[in-house]
A and B are shown apart, each in its own frame.
Chain A
Amino acid sequence: MDDLRALYQEVILDHYKRPRHFGALEEANRRAEGTNPLCGDQITVYAKVEDGVIRDVSFEGMGCAISTASASLMTEALSGKTLEEAARMHSVFHRLLTAGDEVPDIEGLGKLEVLAGVRDFPVRIKCATLAWHALRAALEQSDEPVTTE
């Protein structure tokens, strides 16, 4: 059960059961959907962007513990960040999930580090990245729904 506890850390279960920034954002000026075709999960990410800064961000949709917690933690981490900071964090987060045996440089990731355990469950990596893919589409103002494929 140890690796399960590493995957489903308390912080993750907490964000799964009580997701933060959950629900549509009325003043959003960016919005995108993400779909995980593997399980049929759908998520919508909303963002309010002004002067290159993410003033507010939220999400809604059904998902597993990993995708919900990842989305919730993402919204916490990105509120108030510049677009450049958000892009950097996305790439660092991606590195966290895809690093092999070497210790990845994840400086500045903060609480998102709790998702490191997903690394050992390759089929679940897409769950953890779903919200991030949707967010990137939102920030790029793509009108197309995105998927994790």
Chain B
Amino acid sequence: MTATPTIDGSQPVSAAPTLDVEAVRREFPILERLIGKARLVYLDNAASTQRPLAVLDAERDFETHAYSNVHRGVHTLSQEATEAYEGARERVRRFLGAADAREVIFLRGTTEAINLVAQSYGRAEVSAGDNMVVSEMEHHSNIVPWQMLCQERGAELRVLPMDDDGELILEELDRLLDERTRIVAVGAVSNALGTINPIAEIARRVHDAGAVLVVDGAQAVPHQQVDVQAMGADFFAFSAHKVYGPSGVGALWGRRELLEAMPPWQGGGSMIQSVRFDQTTYAPLPAKFEAGTPEIVGAVGLAAALDFVDRWGMEAISAHETRLLERACAQLDDLPGVRRIGNARRRASVLSFLLDGIHAHDVGTLLDRDGIAVRAGHHCAQPVMQHYGVASTTRASFGIYNTEEEVDRLVEAVRRTQEFFA
């Protein structure tokens, strides 16, 4: 068996199996959709992936036959719903390579997970005069919660810079880390540039400095095998809707001793052991961080999405997407007037580009008329845009169901867009 590449890239992709893309596509009826007269080419996967029938069916089946609230009732449906929900937690544990399912907290998504860490761990551990580090290429969801924390605590927010290829400058990290650094927050994969960051290497440096590492895994989960223990993360957050699951659900993984020591975040039902007006005691993990009725159906859908991914194999998916990325890059590089943004040595299948004299929004509108769904804007990563001195880029991002023919259609549509504005 060939080694699966880990998120930190310590093992190279080797002799990856091929993917039967036509069979994959049959699982996604939405890909038959016409946009105007053109068949949809869905290249906005970094924003949200589409959901296969396996996910839609799992949700519908659960809703039709077994839905009820979890953790409370003694009746049959409640037991079955609880089993499905806790089964999903175990599924996520296995997907992340975590040691213990109690370390997996179901939340609304990556954003909520990062906010939880900022407001629970952060408020408890960060004081006036302390500092923390985020990278220049972070999504706003891995910047703003920390800015809010630092403002509240009187702490300093430091920025780990990247170079013009879109790679983090790790030597700068050593300069930024000191004995007052409490938290470092970095994305495993950049949503705007596709850069795959060397998380294990960053983790070593962060831990040497005595800080904890929060990994935004939103863009990593659809592209590469994740092992939260091997990469050395202390917290890892991701969303189901980036990995062929539903929106509105995701998970935070945290090292158990950290989660145990953290104060609860939101108060309410489910997160308590007992409530009295003179003293309330809290539930053990993971319930301590899951106040209120959770997104039960979403968790079931997420588990089905992870099964779907495993069925096709992350190694095959990753190799397929890399082939598409390479084909798209090579063809766009052959077109005059195209400037790709981000050229890191290790990249996931995210392709940001600019067309000379044509604004990304106009590119997006023209591509849409050809049925091609891309992202045009700042991708919630405005500091990245500022680095390159632009307001926005056009971003194509590839997923398991995209084909080489679709890459060619993208490139052809880009060429026609240039002609239109010539």
B365 touches A41 (CB 8 A): no
Contacts of B359 in A (CB 8 A): 39, 62-65, 68
**Residues of chain A from 88 to 135 with CB closer than 8 A to chain B in the complex:** 121, 124, 127
A121 touches B365 (CB 8 A): yes
B369 touches A40 (CB 8 A): no
CB distance from A116 to the nearest CB of B (A): 16
| B277 on the A face (CB < 8 A) | no
B362 touches A65 (CB 8 A): yes
Contacts of B378 in A (CB 8 A): 39-40
Q: How many angstroms from the CA of A40 to the CA of B360 in the assembled complex?
A: 11
Contacts of B360 in A (CB 8 A): 39, 64
| B332-366 Cβ-contact flags toward A at 8 Å (1 or 0) | 00000000000000000000000001111110011
| B376 on the A face (CB < 8 A) | yes
A41 touches B421 (CB 8 A): no
A40 touches B361 (CB 8 A): no
| A13 on the B face (CB < 8 A) | yes
A4 touches B361 (CB 8 A): no
Q: How many angstroms from the CA of A134 to the CA of B377 in the assembled complex?
A: 20
Most buried by B among A1, A62, A64, A121: A64
What's the interface size class on A, roughly? 20 to 34
| A73 on the B face (CB < 8 A) | no
Number of interface residues of B (CB under 8 A): 18
Contacts of A7 in B (CB 8 A): 365
A8 touches B420 (CB 8 A): yes
Name B416's closest neighbour in chain A (CB-CB): A1
| A49-77 Cβ-contact flags toward B at 8 Å (1 or 0) | 00000000000001111101000000000
A64 touches B377 (CB 8 A): no
| A44 on the B face (CB < 8 A) | no
- Pick the contact of B365: A13, A68, A124 (CB < 8 A): A124
| B392 on the A face (CB < 8 A) | yes
Q: How many angstroms from the CA of A148 to the CA of B176 in the assembled complex?
A: 37
Q: A40-B377, A40-B382, A40-B385 are in contact. Are A66 and B421 (CB under 8 A)?
A: no
Q: How many angstroms from the CA of A13 to the CA of B358 in the assembled complex?
A: 11
| B391 on the A face (CB < 8 A) | yes
Name B417's closest neighbour in chain A (CB-CB): A4
Which 7 residue pairs spanning A and B have beta carbons closest together? Answer: A64-B359, A64-B361, A40-B378, A40-B391, A39-B377, A39-B392, A65-B362
Name A residues whose Cβ lies closer than 8 Å to a Cβ of B: 1, 3-4, 7-8, 13, 17, 38-42, 62-66, 68, 121, 124, 127
